Amino acid sequence: MKGFIDTLRNIWKIEELRNRILYTLGMLLVFRLGSFIVLPGIDAGIYRAVIGSSGGGGLVGLINLFSGGGFNNASIFALGIMPYISASIAVQLLTFAVPYFQKLQKEGESGRRQLNQITRYLTVIVTVFQASGYYVYLKSLQSGMDGAQFIMLDPTLFWVTAVVVLTAGTLFCMWLGEKITDRGIGNGISLLIMIGIVAGLPGGLIAEFGLREQAGQIMSFVLELVFLVIIVMASVALVQGVRRIPVQYAKQMRGNRMVVGHRQYIPIKVNAAGVMPIIFAQALMFIPGFFQQMMPESQSSVLALLNDYTSWPYNLIYFFLVVIFTYFYTAITVNPVQIADDLKRNGGFIPGVKPGRRTAEFLDNILSRVTLPGSIFLGLIAIMPAFAGSFGISQSFALFFGGTSLLIIVGVVLDTLQQIESHLLMRHYDGLMKTGRIKGRAGAGATV
């Protein structure tokens, strides 16, 4: 405990680090306050009564989780930062498929700035479409409640107002994230997503505790917390797990100087794909629910099962999709041929393996073997909330037992702690841990 207090004192002593942390906390506070400001033209009192009676499970509950409650609050930040994430994923995939984007990616800082600008423009387009969809959602919510008219403006005027305000809100969230990255601590966009998810944790805990207290099952609640801690520890191991491949560099002549050969390691991550496979798989699993909403008169039992996240067909398909997408995303992000060429160009080789094609085949085999347990474990983490729900845990609390939310929280926390530790070590203070080092994005891959 004394060491922890000393670490906090060391953090506070470093003026730059202290200012960065306070700046980050201030920006996160602004983001949280914005999630409670209701859209103009909505009667907040009537709307809360309507949303309270209609619930908010399934797809709506998941979207609301990532927006920090702003979606159910009909706030100016109802869409949060998710349109920007969608645009970023699209641009990232284009860099693997379109030569023009590949060229920009290889141009260094100038290319990165152009890609960021393209992402911003695409964010505006995505937000306009999603804001229009949110308007349709609000209209359907109002039409489903007899006499509860919470939209006080003319429909056309409200649509225009909602689209403009929601687009401005998303762009403001994007600006907050960029400012946190530049002047704060950690990755701003990831922190905004994480703080939105964590905001639902106290409510989920309280709801679950109240449920267990009424049933006289306090010990069950304690066991749930213990199980949650175990899952978090397993997720940390998944994020930080690395298979190190030794690389030997030969002696080289640089000018008139002989550079002595040295040994380094290529880190092959157990989960090189991060949280992306779960996001892709989740997007596909939303399709049956979309068709069911488009055809409410159809009472298909198959669609009903595929729209129920607790059913075994849903989770079986979801699990295999996560495994498949893990291999797919790892294949497009990690290129063994390029790694082998870079090693050969820089005079490096893997002991016992010939440079060139043999090295690429060796790396590909290692990558396939390491990815298999990582993909299976990632699939288990993805379906863990369904198992938690099947044991009677409330949905608001079960979402924290796995899936996208847990991996994002673990990855972002590790990344932020790694940056804090770097500031401490740079100024000759002890790090956050006496043994080992915290691996953030540099060591464990990006979370978002």
Handedness of CA 412, 414, 419, 424 (dihedral sign): positive
Sequential DSSP letters for 100-132: HHHHHHTTTHHHHHHHHHHHHHHHHHHHHHHHH
Contact 143, 39 (CB under 8 A): no
Domain membership of residue 418 (yes or no) is: yes
Asked if the structure places residue 356 within a domain, the reply is: yes
Residue 55, CA distances (Å) to 36, 61, 77, 349 in order: 18, 9, 20, 59
Same domain, 81 and 162: yes
Q: Could you tell me if 334 and 394 lie in one domain? A: yes
Asked whether residue 162 falls in the same domain as residue 259, the answer is no
Q: Does residue 252 belong to any structural domain of this protein?
A: yes
For 430-445, what is each residue's pLDDT tens digit? 556 555 556 655 433 3
Amino acid at position 77, single letter: F
Same domain flag for 276 and 147:
no
- Domain contains 2: no
Q: What is the pLDDT, as a whole number, of residue 10?
A: 78
- Domain edge (last residue) among 176, 199, 222: 199
Q: What is the token pair recorded at 264?
A: 């380094």
Q: Which of 171, 199, 227 is the last residue of a domain?
A: 199
Q: Which residues of 188-216 are buried (b: 16+ CB within 10 A; e: fewer)?
A: bbbbbbbbbbbbbbeebbeebbebbeeee
Do residues 220 and 181 both lie within one domain? no
| Residue that is written with structure tokens 């294949």 in the block | 331
Distance, CA of 19 to chain centre: 26
Residue 216, SS3? coil
How confident is the model at residue 258, as a pLDDT? 58
Q: Is 248 in the same domain as 348?
A: yes
Percent of the chain past pLDDT 70, that is, above it, reads: 82
Residue 83 near residue 98, CB atoms below 8 Å? no
Domain with 74 in it: 15-199
Note whether 60 and 119 are same-domain residues.
yes
* Strands lying side by side in the sheet with 263-269: 263-269, 242-249, 348-349
Residue 205 included in any domain: no
CA angle 164, 166, 172 (to 5 degrees): 100
Asked whether residue 187 falls in the same domain as residue 252, the answer is: no
For the chain, how many structural domains are there in total?
A: 2
- The answer to whether residues 192 and 227 belong to one domain is no
Query: Which residues of the chain have a pLDDT value below 50?
Result: 442-447
Of 174, 199, 224, the one marking the end of a domain is 199
Instruction: For residues 179 and 218, state if they share a domain.
Output: no
Query: Which letter, b or e, does each residue of 372-407 get, where b requires 16 or more Cβ atoms within 10 Å of its Cβ?
Result: eebbebbbbbbbbbbebbeeebbbbbbbbbbbbbbb
| Amino acid symbol at 93 | L
Number of H helices, E strands in the chain: 19, 5
Which among 288, 283, 327, 291 is positioned nearest to 311, based on CA atoms? Answer: 288
Query: Has residue 358 been placed in a domain?
Result: yes
Q: Is residue 177 part of a domain?
A: yes
Q: Do residues 175 and 247 share a domain?
A: no
pTM comes to 0.78
Give dist(CA 124, CA 254) in Å, integer. 50
For residue 159, what is the domain's CATH number? 1.10.3370.10
Q: Indicate whether 206 belongs to any domain.
A: no
Same domain? For 159 and 244 the reply is no
Q: Is the CB of residue 300 less than 8 Å from the CB of residue 361? A: no
